[in-house]
Amino acid sequence: MDAHDHVARAHAVGADAIVVSVDYRLAPEHPHPAGIEDSRAALRWVGEHAEELGGDPKRIAVAGDSAGGNISAIMAQLARDNGGPELVYQLLW
């Protein structure tokens, strides 16, 4: 997570957005789907608390690279198929 802090901050500034980084559990210590469950819980929490964080609950996006990109894509599908939060964008690299 620390390795991506500078990227997250740059995106936050460039998009005038709040960025939430998820410290999801990693394999092999925590087998699948632990990381997915952690990320889904975090996305739900952000959706429920966006206004408290100073954000807009109708303007939530997900982003990630490598395994985080895969998890972000899964979050978009789960949000779409399971009642949100509605996402406006996904950035995968």
Could you state, in order of their start, the residue ranges of all structural domains in the chain? 4-92
pLDDT in tens, the chain (93 residues): 677 888 888 888 888 888 999 999 999 999 999 999 999 999 999 999 999 999 999 999 999 999 999 999 999 999 999 999 999 999 998
Put residue 54 in one of left, alpha, beta given phi > 0 → left and psi -120 to 50 → alpha.
Answer: left
**What is the distance of C-alpha 4 from the center of its chain?**
13
User: Which candidate, 5, 13, 1, 7, places its Cα nearest to that of 39?
Assistant: 1
> Using alpha carbons only, what angle is made at residue 92 by residues 86 and 93, rounded to the nearest 5 degrees?
170
Q: Is the dihedral of CA 78, 81, 86, 89 positive or negative?
A: positive
